[in-house]
Chain A
Amino acid sequence: MAQILIVDDSASMRNMVATTLKSAGHQVTDAPDGQAGLNKAKSSKFDVIVTDLNMPIMNGIDLVRNLRALANYKYTPILLLTTESSMDKKSEGKAAGATGWLVKPFNPDKLLATVARVIG
């Protein structure tokens, strides 16, 4: 089971993602914005990071960029939560170093399947 960090400014999304991942046996930590997520990522090691794109203080793209600059997170799978309207964000995210994305809205099964893709 993996250590997963979920970064999203929406508490309900964070809850939903965390609850779903926990139910599958993962250890979940959450953060409400990119900066807080980055701090948490620095203070411990996560196997997967799931992050929203639009967040105050530090957005998802900058978070990915910052994470990739850390030796610990050079190859760590990072998934972006995007909406279908932000396709260009996907390529921007990819360019910043994101591993993949999960398109909102998604259901718990889809989330677990997507996370499973990058574990192991």
Chain B
Amino acid sequence: MSIDMEQFHEVFFEESLEGLDVMEQALLIIGQSNDPEVINTIFRAAHSIKGGSGTFGFGDVANFTHVLETLLDEARDGKRELNEECIELLLRSCDCLRGMFTALQAKETPNLYQSIELIAAFERILGATDKTVNTVQADAVTQTSQAGSGPMLSQNSKNDANTSSGTDNKVTKHWQIKFVPEPQILLAGNEPLRLFRELAALGDLATSADISEVPNFADLTVDECFIRWDLELSNSSASKEDILEVFDWVIDECTLDIQLVGDNTSTQDNAMTSEPFEVPSVDIENMLTTNTEEPEQQFAGADKKAAPEIRAPRSDKNTHPSSSSSIRVGIDKVDSLINLVGELVITQSMLSELGNNFDMTKLERLFHGLEQLLQNTKELQESVMRIRMLPISFAFNRFPRMVRDVAIQIDKKVELVILGENTELDKTVMEKITDPLVHLVRNAIDHGIETPEERIRKGKPEQGCIRLDAHHQGGNVVIEVSDDGKGLNTLIIRNKAIEKGLIDSNEQLSDNEIYDLLFQPGFSTAAQVSDISGRGVGMDVVKRNIKSLGGRIVVQSKVDVGTTIKVHLPLTLAILDGQLVRVGQQVFIIPLITIVESLQVKPELVNRVSGDMVMYRLREDNVPIIYLYKEFDISADNTDIDNALLVVVESDGQKIGLLVDDLLAQQQVVIKSLESNYKRIEGISGATILGDGSVSMILDIPGLITASCRRSNVKRQFKVA
């Protein structure tokens, strides 16, 4: 049997990392909660990781988690209280394991320095039960040292070795076994015949049944066993342990007497097998501990040996890149897909039957069928998109830990409130938004929340509050990071910007424009840059990342009340709501989210400024006009600005008007990449395929705006003073 264990590794890593997240969250609330399920959750996570890592050959991880599990087991059984020290250690273990998994995922050898240190700390805590731990380690070593021959443990590997060496030496032993099962043995599904079959595999087996105890037919209960057996196992190389192993599942439900009556074994096995035998009521636990009592020193040696084995990225093998990510989909989502496909098939067969002999009398049914098809397709699309959606708790989960750590580090008291963690978001968006969110939250603790003394002085509660709130708003997800701290001081920001040369000292800026300065590269208001964050260092990166996702940031703040940063994100990157517009022969798509309004140009509101610049007066704003046909060098029906159609779009607070020939339908379009076969095109963010099979370009509004601003370079003159 050769099953490539490597195929399960990626899933194992993923679920282990998830398990660690769960464990960490539970650890963070265990102090406040008496719910036994919390400790069970933690135990289960550690337990699964241990079981899996042993099975899949990651001895170091198994080793480490075993110590963890021992402590958790005691806590679960109420033998030990998890104090602050334990929780801290367990949290650090989560980090350590996470590091180990990340290394393993990248096919590197995990650094054991931290885990060894933590193991030592756990052992100190376990103190009195030290002996167990040592046994445990030795036990793990048995596994580790086997990693080379394929991950496995087996407490009977020794026996296997004996057996095989025995066979080589043509050992023939003769065993007499008396097997007296208790009547209820059948109830657990242990069929004596199966046991005999196992025994027969060890040598020549002769059985005789003793039916003297079988009651009269009238008294017989079908599921009770009254037969006893005398078994003779001859020509066997089996040791007593081998035989015991056959019976290990029923050892408590039978009386077993095993006697060695003949032995031709070469001397090496004698020590083990020729001892006088008593009735082996030996329970399996003792047996196992005997097997695993390896001297401790072997631990160190084996550990060194194990490390290179685990690395094992065989270069001759095609190692798949660990970046290939997968998605775990709830079965309900798959079921709903299957249902929808079923409906689609029904609609399809209905339509094709209709098409076979169609006449005008069936027109009504045809319309009905097409309507149904539209409905099916829509639902199918939504369902498929849902597969990519994950609850935002995946991103939020890390925050309780982070807030706790950061707050402790800088001596602040912070409570974290998380709302809307079930809000779903596209997996790709989620991955890219996590780091910016971390930055925003760190900033909020570091710069938003005041020190406890300062808060008391201001008459606020000593403990500050950070709120993370996710919710849907239209076709968007809005994530709010808010704090009840000191708020943004526009004066300080303004002065800083002047000092940095970002603005002129006499420039008039609205509050929002001042907040925007925070996201300028190289802007920082922190008097001293702490290692937690320095507002400004990275805020430009935050903004860039969010923009690259097609999202935007809105800042609201009030001095001494707090700051709220709202991040608006598209639900998904794969589909967008688009407005189809026509310019000449070409159809373009404008993302609906960017459109402010569409209007018929009134000639009296058109102004020409700064040379060749055409502006449209939209209420108090002057909006520069971009002639799409000029921009893209194509022909258009209407090149005259008067009476033309203008689509006003906005990105990043900047509005522009796009001159188009016609407004067509609004529809959802699937975004396809132009870059995969061609290259990036300025002003175009991608392409899509329309209903008639033709390709249409999706306009990159921020790109068009930047390009137009760059050309005109009159950015700051748009505003009417």
CB distance from A4 to the nearest CB of B (A): 14
A99-B3 contact, Cβ under 8 Å, with A74-B223, A105-B143: no
B interface residues (Cβ-Cβ under 8 A, vs A): 1, 3, 5, 7-9, 11-12, 15, 41, 43-44, 47-48, 50-56, 62, 66, 69-70, 73, 136, 139, 143, 150-155, 186-191, 194, 197-198, 223, 248-249, 252-253, 284-285, 288, 292, 328
A82 to B9, CA, bound (A): 20
The answer to whether A107 and B152 touch across the interface, beta carbons within 8 angstroms, is yes
Pairs A-B, 9 closest by C-beta atoms: A105-B54, A107-B152, A12-B12, A100-B249, A105-B55, A99-B189, A77-B189, A104-B51, A12-B11
Does A37 interact with chain B (Cβ within 8 Å)?
no
Q: Which residues of B contact A28 (CB under 8 A)?
A: none
Residue of B nearest to A9 (CB): B48
**Chain A residues touching B, range:** 35 or more
A117 to B62, CA, bound (A): 28
A101 to B191, CA, bound (A): 15
User: Which among B1, B44, B70, B155 is the interface contact of A85 at CB below 8 angstroms?
Assistant: B70
Other than A12-B11, A109-B152, give 14 A-B pairs with Cβ distance below 8 A: A9-B44, A11-B11, A11-B15, A16-B8, A54-B44, A56-B41, A84-B139, A84-B153, A87-B284, A99-B189, A106-B153, A106-B154, A109-B1, A118-B189
Does A98 interact with chain B (Cβ within 8 Å)?
yes
CB distance from B237 to the nearest CB of A (A): 17
Residue of A nearest to B62 (CB): A105
A83-B50 contact, Cβ under 8 Å, with A11-B328, A75-B223, A91-B252: yes
CB distance from A73 to the nearest CB of B (A): 9
A12 to B12, CA, bound (A): 5
Give the contacts of A88-114 with B (CB-CB under 8 A): 90-91, 94, 97-101, 103-110, 112
Main secondary structure of the interface of A (DSSP, over half): mixed
The answer to whether B56 and A20 touch across the interface, beta carbons within 8 angstroms, is no
Give the contacts of A40-89 with B (CB-CB under 8 A): 52, 54-56, 68, 74-78, 81, 83-85, 87
A15 to B15, CA, bound (A): 12
Residue of B nearest to A107 (CB): B152
The answer to whether A84 and B189 touch across the interface, beta carbons within 8 angstroms, is no
CB distance from B57 to the nearest CB of A (A): 8
Q: Which residues of A contact B62 (CB under 8 A)?
A: 105
Query: Would you give 27 A-B contacts (Cβ < 8 Å), ordered by A?
Result: A10-B15, A12-B8, A12-B12, A12-B56, A16-B55, A20-B3, A23-B1, A52-B51, A74-B223, A75-B189, A81-B51, A83-B69, A100-B249, A103-B154, A104-B51, A104-B54, A105-B56, A105-B151, A105-B152, A105-B153, A106-B152, A107-B150, A107-B151, A107-B154, A108-B5, A117-B194, A120-B197
